[in-house]
Amino acid sequence: MANESQQQPESLKSARTAVGRIPGRGRYDREEVYRILDAGFVCHVGFSIDGQPFVIPTSYWRKEDSLYFHGSTASRMLSNLAAGAPVCVTVTHVDGLVLARSAYHHSINYRSVVILGQAVPVLDEREKVAALEAFVNSMVPGRWHDIREPNAGELKATEVLKVSIQEASAKIRTGPPLDDPEDIELGVWAGVIPLAESAGLAISAPDLRPGIKMPPAVANYKPRSAPDSATR
């Protein structure tokens, strides 16, 4: 989706992002973290206001080594983050339901990312427009060139924040259920139900003027590819 930075540290691991529970599932290289981020549309943003924690789902996108999200300038979440409140951003994809022979070993195959840091408001107008262009194009490649760009009033009403991806971890579970040896002899089916994102046929807006053709990128839209982690 975005051009990668030419100089990247080998690992995003820190004492705060190190995976504690089943550490073998942890991943810290940028390539893996970015692959998981670029496959998604919705993140959960965690922050605290006066000791009260909040976790808010919102759309996001990545541009180079930063994760972005946006909303109204009146947003309580955005205004508090812009003021310097620490932030935790998580992204999760569910790839399969893992059905074991025992209740204890039922699980889910997944890919997730946790990013820690601070959100910085994008104040430069050209940078803000470029960030919003990346957002639109992250939904459908090339979409920005088909639409009207935001006007001055819309830009003023929109807050764009970015979080530098410097402290992060990915965690991935793949494969079959891990039953206890004594349970394998039980007469119970065990395995994985793969789950994958799918896209239906695009539906034109009811007020679309006659004669306007659906762009090829929309008509031929395919879901973002996911690794075959539900079955391997």
The C-alpha atoms of residue 146 and residue 168 are separated, in whole angstroms, by: 35
pLDDT in tens, 35-70: 999 999 999 999 999 999 999 999 999 999 999 999
CA of residue 183 relative to chain centroid, distance: 37
Widest distance between CA atoms in the chain? 68
Q: What is the pLDDT of residue 11?
A: 87
Q: Which helix (H) or strand (E) holds 93?
A: strand 86-99
User: If DSSP codes are grouped into helix, strand and coil, which group holds residue 227?
Assistant: coil
- pLDDT value of position 227: 58
Q: What is the pLDDT of residue 13?
A: 86
- C-alpha to C-alpha distance for 165 and 117, rounded to whole angstroms: 8
Per DSSP, helices labelled H in 92-151 are 125-139
CATH classification for the domain delimited by 23-97+108-176, as one of 1.10.3720.10, 3.40.50.300, 2.30.110.10, 1.10.10.10: 2.30.110.10
Locate 77 and state its tokens.
Answer: 């979440």
The burial of 221, by beta-carbon neighbours within 10 Å (0-12 exposed, 13-18 middle, 19 or more buried), is given as: middle
Residue 114 DSSP class: E
Rounded to two decimals, what is the model's pTM? 0.88
For residue 188, give the DSSP letter.
Answer: -
**Mean pLDDT, rounded, of the chain:** 91
pLDDT in tens, the chain (232 residues): 544 444 554 688 888 888 888 888 878 899 999 999 999 999 999 999 999 999 999 999 999 999 999 999 999 999 999 999 999 999 999 999 999 999 999 999 999 999 999 999 999 999 999 999 999 999 999 999 999 999 999 999 999 999 999 999 999 999 999 999 999 999 999 999 999 999 999 999 999 999 999 999 999 998 876 555 443 3
What is the residue extent of each domain of the chain?
23-97+108-176
User: What SS3 string covers 19-70?
Assistant: CCCCHHHEECCHHHHHHHHHCCCEEEEEEEECCEEEEEEEECEEECCEEEEE
